[in-house]
Amino acid sequence: MAEITVKAGQALERILTLELVRVTERAAVASASLRGRGDEKAADKAAVDAMRRELNRLPIAGRIVIGEGERDEAPMLFIGEEVGTGKGPAVDIAVDPLEGTTLCAKNMPGSIAVMAMAEGGTLLYAPDVYMEKIAIGPGYPKGTIDIDASPEDNIHSLAKAKGVKPSEISALILDRPRHAAIIEAVRKTGAAVQLITDGDVAGVIHTTNPEETGVDIYLGTGGAPEGVLAAAALRCIGGEMYTRLILDTEEKRERAKKMGVTDPKKIYTITDMVRGDCLIAATGVTTGNLLKGVKYDKGVVKTHTVVMRSATGTVRWIEAEHRDLSKFHLG
């Protein structure tokens, strides 16, 4: 297969328009072929293999800085792995080939294939630990939310900034026992709670378009790698996000230190996590509020992707019909 060639200085633009989309499309279609089969690892492996195969065609000297989670013991695009042809710009890459493995395995809404690409050395090298997160979309004064404030105070502050009553605010929270106190506190303000079983990258992105998604704020703890991917999306669209690593054991603190984390209590902003120009693409695997899932018609595969760039604030929605199905290696 012929290599892609890109003129010097135009790599990000070219990737933004099509090549990045191809990577997430391939991963989404590969995992979608296993929707509802109940095998999370098989679906994840299909997405990983497809994403790696397409990444290695790109004219980049890429390095995976956010890869598959160690906790999941899943097939990995591992941290430090080099991808691309090596004949292009040095870039950092964050991937979640199948965000929402359980959602895909159970054929539930909201599973996506997502990746971000940024200038080399500009993405946070986040250890695979949990992270406190709070995020809202664009259009609010800086300081509307505070990671150290109570859920009640954050809901009231956001309602005031939006010019509505707290009862008109909706918070998205992962449905986990550890979030019971947060859920109770949010509901005490009169605000609504939307619970999700998985997929907090898409969850944070939902805050950027509350009219469509019904989500004003994201609260709770989740994986640090997913936090960096979500920050990349907000870097492109706008919004406010604060995070803090949960380093509650000596082993986690040592692992974080080896990855360059010098202050274990540091609060990270969007620009701390994504410092330079970045691109992010996400393709739907199963239909959710953000994206339509992969659809198989006779002789045609349909995909739905969003691709964003921070330097221009451009957001493109791409609905594609694929007729050359051999490129998906579906066997």
Of 212, 203, 216, 213, give the one whose Cα is nearest residue 164.
216
- Is residue 40 pLDDT above 80, yes or no? yes
Any residues with CB less than 8 A from the CB of 10 and at least 6 apart, and which? none
Q: Would you state the pLDDT for residue 311? A: 85
Place 17 in a pLDDT band, splitting at 50, 70 and 90: low
Using left for φ > 0, alpha for ψ between -120 and 50, and beta otherwise, residue 185 falls in alpha
Beta bridge partners of 303: 320
Q: Residue type for 209, please?
A: N
Within 10 Å of residue 213's Cβ, how many Cβ atoms?
20
Tens of pLDDT along 131-147? 999 999 999 999 999 99
Mean pLDDT, range 312-324, rounded to an integer? 92
Kindly give the residue spans of alpha helices, DSSP state H, lying in the chain. Answer: 11-14, 20-32, 40-55, 101-105, 151-162, 180-188, 200-206, 210-213, 224-237, 250-258, 270-273
d(CA 115, CA 299): 27
d(CA 122, CA 89): 13
163 phi and psi angles, rounded to 5 deg: 80, 35
At 83-119, the pLDDT tens digits run 999 988 899 999 999 999 999 999 999 999 999 999 8
The full DSSP string for 140-165 is: S-TTS--TTS-HHHHHHHHHHHHTS-
- Edge-to-edge, what's the strand order for the sheet holding 192-196? 192-196, 170-174, 217-223, 130-136, 240-245, 268-269
By C-alpha distance, which of 120, 76, 113 is closest to 278? 120
Check whether 12 has a pLDDT greater than 90: no
pLDDT per position as a tens digit, 170-211: 999 999 999 999 999 999 999 999 999 888 899 999 999 999
pLDDT exceeds cutoff 80 at 152: yes
The mean predicted confidence, pLDDT, of the chain is 90
Task: Transcribe 229-250 into DSSP letters.
Answer: HHHHHHHHH--EEEEEE---SH
- Give which of 178, 296, 306, 287 is closest to 236, Cα–Cα: 306
The packing angle between helices 180-188 and 151-162, to 10°, is 40
The three state secondary structure string of 18-29 is HHHHHHHHHHHH
pLDDT at residue number 15: 53
Instruction: Give the per-residue pLDDT at 94.
Output: 94
- Nearest Cα neighbor of 285 from 110, 116, 115, 106 is 110
Please name the residues in contact with 9: beta carbons below 8 A apart, sequence gap of 6 or more: none
- pLDDT at residue 267 tops 70: yes
